[in-house]
A and B are shown apart, each in its own frame.
Chain A
């Protein structure tokens, strides 16, 4: 699914925060967490991240793991430094007033998949 289609799925509840975002990037998988440690342990390159955390550590985590785009949920507006870092890293950042659960539910029902974590045992 392209990022612009994801924005369409979220209807009017989604706002693009960065300038000149590439909305044609393909997203197949998504991960949702406020815990960056979890994301660092499980994320796959090319994913979409849904999070309620707005610290610039979110963008660093995306850059390091190869996450392609971020949606901040619950209408949590990131500080300017986070948006600036996202711009430098060329990571599109979006904002929705939906909750994490609602955002995940909508995107899952439209075909976006989660990643499967292999068990250690």
Chain B
């Protein structure tokens, strides 16, 4: 069973808002810094959050990023309402992409987002329903020194 949540926060992500893509990941990074989380964990989680946020902006209508901090772990979930992913195994392959020109102009859409999220996460889970949306769960394990009471 999960232990008590020490901190939680939600961020809204709007589909198509390419100008502000990354703002939630940036806020998240600053929050984790203030809490005093290990810098390597912050960096890996911020990268995964940024990739996830760019995906919501690109492929979904709307999304919610939630951060839950427990004494022993951080759980980041990103849930969106959108087109979903038809074949997750294919989407996880580096280089596979269905990106639009708009996102390619931002330097994304190379088919590296999901594999990079998985690489940076301690535990990575993804589920998706076509025409409904996608849910990502990224867990980072903490040791005792990471979260102060």
Residue of A nearest to B22 (CB): A60
Docked-complex contact B19 and A56, CB < 8 angstroms: yes
Q: What are the residues of chain A within 8 A of B110 when measuring CB–CB?
A: 35, 37-38
Docked-complex contact B47 and A37, CB < 8 angstroms: no
Number of interface residues of A (CB under 8 A): 22
A79 and B105 CA atoms in complex are apart in Å by 14
Q: What are the residues of chain A within 8 A of B124 when measuring CB–CB?
A: none
A65 and B54 CA atoms in complex are apart in Å by 15
Q: What are the residues of chain B within 8 A of A66 when measuring CB–CB?
A: 43
A15 and B18 CA atoms in complex are apart in Å by 28
Give the interface SS of chain B, mostly helix, strand, loop or mixed.
helix
Cβ contacts A46-68/B at 8 Å (1 or 0 each): 00000101011110110111100
Cβ contacts B56-81/A at 8 Å (1 or 0 each): 00000000000000000000000000
Docked-complex contact A60 and B26, CB < 8 angstroms: yes
Number of interface residues of B (CB under 8 A): 26
Docked-complex contact B43 and A40, CB < 8 angstroms: no
Q: What are the residues of chain B within 8 A of A51 when measuring CB–CB?
A: 107
Give the residue of A38, A60, A65 whose beta carbon is less than 8 angstroms from that of B21.
A60
Contact A45 B26, CB 8 Å, known A38-B110, A38-B112, A58-B107:
no
Give the residue of A38, A41, A64 whose beta carbon is less than 8 angstroms from that of B22.
A64
Docked-complex contact A40 and B47, CB < 8 angstroms: yes
Residue of B nearest to A55 (CB): B106
Docked-complex contact B19 and A60, CB < 8 angstroms: no
Docked-complex contact A36 and B108, CB < 8 angstroms: yes
Which of A56, A60, A61: most chain B CB closer than 10 A? Answer: A60
Docked-complex contact A36 and B43, CB < 8 angstroms: no
A64 and B32 CA atoms in complex are apart in Å by 12
Docked-complex contact B26 and A57, CB < 8 angstroms: no
Q: Does chain B have a CB within 8 A of A5? A: no
Q: Which B residues are closer than 8 A to A by beta carbons?
A: 18-19, 21-23, 25-26, 29, 39, 43, 46-47, 50-51, 54, 105-113, 116, 119
User: Given known contacts A37-B51, A55-B105, what 8 new A-B pairs fall within 8 Å (CB)?
Assistant: A35-B110, A37-B116, A45-B39, A57-B106, A57-B107, A60-B25, A61-B107, A64-B50
9 contacts between A and B (CB under 8 A): A36-B107, A36-B108, A41-B119, A45-B39, A45-B43, A57-B107, A57-B108, A61-B107, A63-B22
